[in-house]
């Protein structure tokens, strides 16, 4: 319950908004419009003073000289930085004009155009703050838009809701704006903030995964972590991992195809799954440690680089597979199956191959590639747990996440193999000699695709 009128003192009368001003007639209202070009940033600063501050601000000399002086003062209170370095503002244009206000008094409007050099040749983070007449009441609004550049993130809108301080919205449920700072990320290109492309089909899965991840996060951060809650959290992370592995990208799907394309035994598949789990867990842990230890560490960049590495590995495996498929085509009936199983087992168990180790190395490499890119949601859960002091539990959730991924891969591989057997019984029997080549091509294509996508995200 709110106590009405805490103070028994009756305050001096203050006049309500008579004219256009949202904050009564002693408000000083500020608007800052930022336009970022490829080679400069332009700032239109408008100061709309109501009747009383207009009277308080004495104009000495000509109006133009006053505008120049006022804009110079404004420039000194405006702070802009690009990547932490201050921007050098220059006043390019000034104007000052009186307007008729209430009760035969005047209001005034100061307009300053400022400009600062800037080179947008890579993504840049800009900050802006206006401390001009910070002690006064008034509407404070900042907008930012790009011209020939793209704002990938912005804490302020692109358009003014007050028509640049000419038409203040009057709404019982809206407080006057009081925005004094802005943070904008700008990059070369055109378009507006938040125009990331979304694939319609993926959307619904992503939404549900996000819901699951949220649930997991709240579980990990719950006030009291009971045994059932802990189990539920681990199960959820298992599920999340499974869903994550089923999502396109990251080359994990390729693995299933690869496993299906060759006559593998279940054990080999399990080994691959174990490798994926181990690689993914290690990746998340290493990244988690890096992010926790170094504040300047940018997780996104590392994720992109890991994506590139993962894609390249897959593509290389694809090439290798293609070559081996060709060779096999030329010498059909070679005792391949025997050699393979043996080689793989050793290659995995001892970390080095011999004999046919090249192929087994391929499997392990593929598994590594599949687990190499840590899933962001696993990372978030881990960091959240660490922040709450539940490091061990966080690591456990990550392990379960990897297990979930492995489970999906196993299932997919098994299912594909069964399907393959069924299909091969029919007319597709004729295609059998080419299946290895087809698999190899598919792997190569997906590898190239993953690499390209990761590179595109980096640039």
Of residues 7 and 196, the one with the C-beta less far from another protein: 7
- Residue 100 interacting with another protein (CB under 8 A): no
- Judged by CB under 8 A, the residue of 100, 389, 426, 430 near another protein is 389
78 near another protein, rule: CB under 8 A: no
Establish if 270 lies at the interface with another protein (CB under 8 A): yes
Return the number of the residue (82 or 385) whose C-beta is nearest another protein: 385
Region near another protein per CB under 8 A, out of 61-69, 171-179, 194-202, 294-302: 171-179
Binders of another protein among residues 325 to 364 (CB under 8 A) are 341-342, 345-346, 348-350
Residue 265 and residue 177: Cα distance in Å, rounded?
A: 66
Residues numbered 103 to 122 that lie near another protein (CB under 8 A) are 103-105
Is residue 442 within the footprint of another protein (CB under 8 A)?
Answer: no
Binding of residue 61 to another protein (CB under 8 A): no
78, 120, 234, 240: which one contacts another protein (CB under 8 A)? 234
Q: How far is the CB of 130 from another protein (least distance, A)?
A: 16
Examine residue 176 and tell whether it contacts another protein (CB under 8 A): yes
The answer to whether the beta carbons of residues 353 and 361 sit under 8 Å apart is yes
From residue 184 to residue 223, the character string flagging contacts with another protein as x (rule: CB under 8 A) and all else as - is ---------------------------------------x
Name the nearest CA neighbour of 261 among 419, 408, 436, 437: 436
Number of residues lying near another protein (CB under 8 A): 72
Interacting residue with another protein among 84, 100, 172, 332 (CB under 8 A):
172
Minimum distance, C-beta of residue 141 to another protein, in the bound complex (Å):
16
Separation CA 322–CA 417 (nearest Å): 20
Binding of another protein by 47 (CB under 8 A): no
Binding of residue 174 to another protein (CB under 8 A)? yes
Give the interface segment with another protein, choosing from 1-9, 86-94, 286-294, 441-449 (CB under 8 A).
1-9
Task: Give the 3-state secondary structure of the chain.
Answer: CCCCCCCCCCCCCCCCCCCCCCCHHHCEEEEEEEEECCCEEEEEEEEEECHHHHHHCCCCCCHHHHHHHHHHHHHHHEEEEECCEECCCEEEEEEEEEEECHHHCEEEEEEEEEEEECCCCCCEEEEEEECCCCCCCCCEEEEEEECCEEEEEECCCCCCCCCCCCCCCCCCCCCCCECCEEEEEEEECCCCCCCCCCCHHHHHHHHHHHHHHHHHHHHHCCCCCCHHHHHHHHHHHHHHHHHHHHCCCCCHHHHHHHHHHCCCCHHHHHHHHHHHHHHHHHHHHHHHHHHHHCCCCCHHHHHHHHHHHHHHHHHHHHHHHHHHHHHHHHCCCCCHHHHHHHHHHHHHHHCCCCCCHHHHHHHHHHHHHHHHCCCHHHHHHHHHHHHCCCHHHHHHHHHHHHHHHHHHHHHHHHHHHHHHHHHHHCHHHHHHHHHHHHHHHHHHHHHHHHHHHHHHHHC
- Judged by CB under 8 A, the stretch of 158-166, 269-277, 330-338, 423-431 that binds another protein is 269-277
Query: Which residue among 403, 407, 409, 440 contacts another protein (CB under 8 A)?
Result: 403
Q: How far is the CB of 225 from another protein (least distance, A)?
A: 5
Q: Decide: is 16 part of the binding site for another protein (CB under 8 A).
A: yes
Site for another protein (CB under 8 A): which residue of 67, 390, 405, 451?
390
CB of 348 to another protein, least distance (A): 6
Residue 27 touches another protein, criterion: CB under 8 A = yes
Binding mask 281-320 for another protein (x = CB under 8 A): ----------------------------------------
Q: CB of residue 382 vs another protein: minimum separation in angstroms?
A: 14
């Amino acid at each position: 319950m709110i106590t009405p009128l805490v103070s028994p003192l009756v305050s001096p009368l203050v006049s309500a908004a008579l004219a256009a001003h949202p904050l009564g007639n002693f408000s000083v209202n500020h608007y800052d419009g930022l336009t970022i070009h490829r080679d400069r940033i332009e700032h239109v600063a408008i100061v709309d003073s109501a009747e009383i501050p207009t009277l308080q601000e004495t104009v000495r000399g000509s109006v133009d000289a006053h505008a120049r002086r006022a804009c110079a003062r404004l420039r000194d209170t405006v702070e802009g930085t690009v990547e932490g370095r201050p921007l050098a503002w220059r006043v390019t244009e000034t104007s000052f004009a009186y307007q008729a206000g209430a009760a035969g008094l005047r209001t005034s409007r100061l307009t300053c155009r400022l400009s600062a050099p800037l080179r947008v040749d890579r993504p840049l983070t800009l900050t802006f703050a206006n401390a001009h007449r910070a002690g006064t009441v008034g509407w404070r609004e900042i907008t930012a838009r790009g011209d020939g550049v793209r704002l990938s993130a912005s804490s302020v809108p692109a358009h003014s809701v007050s028509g640049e301080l000419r038409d203040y919205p009057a709404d019982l449920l809206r407080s006057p704006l009081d925005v004094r700072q802005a943070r904008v990320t700008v990059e070369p290109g055109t378009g507006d903030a938040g125009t990331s492309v979304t694939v319609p089909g993926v959307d619904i899965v992503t939404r549900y995964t996000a819901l699951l991840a949220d649930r997991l996060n709240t579980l990990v951060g719950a006030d009291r972590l009971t045994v059932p809650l802990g189990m539920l959290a681990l199960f959820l992370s298992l599920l999340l991992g499974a869903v994550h592995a089923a999502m396109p990208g990251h080359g994990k799907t390729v693995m299933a195809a690869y496993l299906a394309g060759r006559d593998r035994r279940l054990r080999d598949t399990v080994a691959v799954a174990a490798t994926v789990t181990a690689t993914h867990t290690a990746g998340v842990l290493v990244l988690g440690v890096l992010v926790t230890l170094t504040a300047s560490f940018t997780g996104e960049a590392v994720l992109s680089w890991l994506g590139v590495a993962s894609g390249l590995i897959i593509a290389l495996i694809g090439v290798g597979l293609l070559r081996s498929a060709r060779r096999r085509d030329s010498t059909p009936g070679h005792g391949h199956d025997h050699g393979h199983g043996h080689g793989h087992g050793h290659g995995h168990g001892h970390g080095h191959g011999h004999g046919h180790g090249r192929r087994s190395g391929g499997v392990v490499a593929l598994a590594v590639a599949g687990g190499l890119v840590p899933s962001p949601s696993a990372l978030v859960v881990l960091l959240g747990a660490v922040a709450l002091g539940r490091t061990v539990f966080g690591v456990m959730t990550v392990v379960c996440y990897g297990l979930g991924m492995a489970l999906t891969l196993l299932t997919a591989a098994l299912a594909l193999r069964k399907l393959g057997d069924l299909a091969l019984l029919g007319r597709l029997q004729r295609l059998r000699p080419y299946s290895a080549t087809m698999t190899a091509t598919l792997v190569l294509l997906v590898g190239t695709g993953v690499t390209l996508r990761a590179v595109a995200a980096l640039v």
